Structure 1
Amino acid sequence: MQMAQIGDIRLHYALTGPEDGMPVVFANSLGTDFRLWDKILPLLPEGLRILRFDKRGHGLSEVPDAPYSMGALITDTERLMDHVGMKNAVFVGLSIGGMIAQGLAAKRLDLVRAMVLSNTGAKIGTRDMWADRIAAVNENGLGFILDPTMDRWFSQSFQQTEEFPGWQQMFLRTPVAGWTGCAAAIAGTDFMNSTSGLRLPTLAIAGSEDGSTPPDLVFETADLIPGVQKHLIRGAGHLPCVENPEEYGRVLSDFLKAQGA
């Protein structure tokens, strides 16, 4: 277990692979911890230096009082990368992790050489939509939104698998302050202008059954960046790295190899 005091918060992270390997950072979605990527790692090229972490309010990281700002989440990530001595990385972000990727690339281009924007957007939802969800969770707990969230996250076929209940439990065990804090950060974020100024290799991945960030939203954001590559994983929802790790791993590996892995 690796923990680091990063500014005002202690974060849980995992740093694996050879010190001289190509650096890759993974940032996961709202309501998950860094086990999100477990199926993908064995499918990637050998010799990578991989950083995964639980953002504030998630996993084993500390849980400050809500709300959080996107700026705080980006600064946490920036400081963690500085702490472990990682820069010039390929940054793989899913959902809110993809928002962190966009913001970090605009702020610290020395840290991000290329991006994978998975199931994300420059802007996700509306302030009113997030305000309603935050109020519901504060009043009733995460169980109140479990079923509609799982329907947005996973295809109906995956919801019949033995693995599915584990993802329900991961979501339910997210601290309320962690979920609402990060939800508030998403609500306050619109990176359309700053992302349109980015010029770096980018791969966008979407799931055809994604009810949280539909393919049109993902690819609308992707098209802000010249030369972007786009890939649609059919039959998968918001977490295609879970539902179809083989295809996700292949597409990600091809992109990493193109960056020099």
Structure 2
Amino acid sequence: MPYAAVNDTHLFYRIDGTENRSAPWVVLSNSLGSDVSMWTPQIAEFTKHFRVLRYDTRGHGHSAAPQGPYTIEQLTGDVIGLMDQLGIERAHFAGVSMGGLTGVGLGARYANRIDRLVLCNTAAKIGSPEVWVPRAAKARSEGMLALADAVLPRWYTPEFIANNALVMSQVRDVFVHTDKDGYASNCEAINAADLRGEAPSIKARTLVISGTHDLAATPVQGRELAESVPGARYVELNAAHISNVELANEYNKIVVDFLLGA
């Protein structure tokens, strides 16, 4: 499996679409409690147009889970370090939830490395200590299985859950096998990150996608994020928190059109 030694940790990554060596790069960043597999519904369509780099955020999937707490500086630095390792000078970036928060940081702090930004089901400030502190503590003390039944139903609408048992079993499998300390350390990174003051400095063309039924990063927060980034476009999908899976075809068309647009 491909790993890169980055920022004092080891990151697992996958690359698709390299047949077209002149295609632009797009980097995909996972949500909290998931891994590179959350982007499976995008790969076939995205690789028609891009070289695709996806990676497991530190503490997730096959990436290492160094001792935390983690910081948004580490999460953004991991992306830049991985791009450096792979010789990628500039790339588009798309992230969901925690990955979207990482994208806000990248757009604000690494303007010379990011072409266009897609910030999905996220905000410049996600949640509060009342959410993240007890969740991190429960992950460490009781493990991921203790969180699954409370967290996963918030990711998708009830209709999607009822009609997609296989998807939900795969999502649950990834979630419960996420390193508990890595998960908790990322909760602490999200809790500490408040990028509302930095979002207005983003110069990259930006698309913000929210889910109408998202309880974790609400449409109100998505609109606030879009309004704070100069020239950003806002789109709302009839989905919950993981819109790229729940409405994959619609999501793919919107994102590809945005990334390829004049």
Q: TM-score, normalised by structure 2?
A: 0.94
**1:188 aligns with one of 165, 172, 192:** 192
Instruction: Please identify runs of 4+ aligned residues in structure 1 that moved more than 6 A.
Output: none
Distance 1:47 1:202 in 2: 18
How far is the alpha carbon of 1:45 from its aligned partner? 6.2
Structure 1 letter corresponding to 2:236: L
Please state whether the residue corresponding to 2:88 is helix, strand or coil: coil
Please state whether the residue corresponding to 2:198 is helix, strand or coil: helix
Shift in CA distance, 141/226, structure 1 to aligned 2, threshold 3 Å: same
Distance 2:255 2:24 in 1: 14
Equivalence for 2:179: 175
How far is the alpha carbon of 1:42 from its aligned partner? 1.4
1:44 correspondence with 2:53? no
Please state whether the residue corresponding to 1:206 is helix, strand or coil: strand
Shift in CA distance, 22/248, structure 1 to aligned 2, threshold 3 Å: same
> Is the deviation greater in 188-197 or in 104-113?
104-113
Q: Quick check: 1:23–1:49 contact (8 Å CA) kept in 2?
A: yes
1:247 correspondence with 2:250? yes
Structure 1 letter corresponding to 2:111: L
> Is the deviation greater in 138-147 or in 216-225?
138-147
**1:57 aligns with one of 49, 56, 59:** 59
Residues 1-261 of structure 1 mapped to structure 2, 5 A cutoff: 1-16=1-16, 17=18, 18-44=20-46, 46-160=48-162, 161-162=164-165, 163-234=167-238, 236-258=239-261
Structure 2 letter corresponding to 1:155: T
Distance 1:42 1:9 in 2: 30
Structure 2 letter corresponding to 1:33: D
Structure 1 letter corresponding to 2:9: I
Deviation sequence 1:121-140 (CA, Å, 0-9, x none): 00001123211111122222
Distance 1:60 1:110 in 2: 29
Q: Quick check: 1:44–1:252 contact (8 Å CA) kept in 2?
A: no
Gaps of 5+ in 2: none
Gaps of 5+ in 1: none
Deviation sequence 1:176-198 (CA, Å, 0-9, x none): 01100111000000000111121
Work out the number of aligned pairs and report it.
258
How far is the alpha carbon of 1:214 from its aligned partner? 1.2
How far is the alpha carbon of 1:88 from its aligned partner? 2.3
Deviation sequence 1:108-150 (CA, Å, 0-9, x none): 1111011000001000011232111111222221222212211
Distance 1:19 1:110 in 2: 21
Distance 1:208 1:251 in 2: 16
Distance 1:193 1:87 in 2: 27
Structure 2 letter corresponding to 1:172: V
CA RMSD of aligned residues (A): 1.3
Distance 2:2 2:131 in 1: 36
Q: Quick check: 2:107–2:203 contact (8 Å CA) kept in 1?
A: no
Sequence identity (%): 31
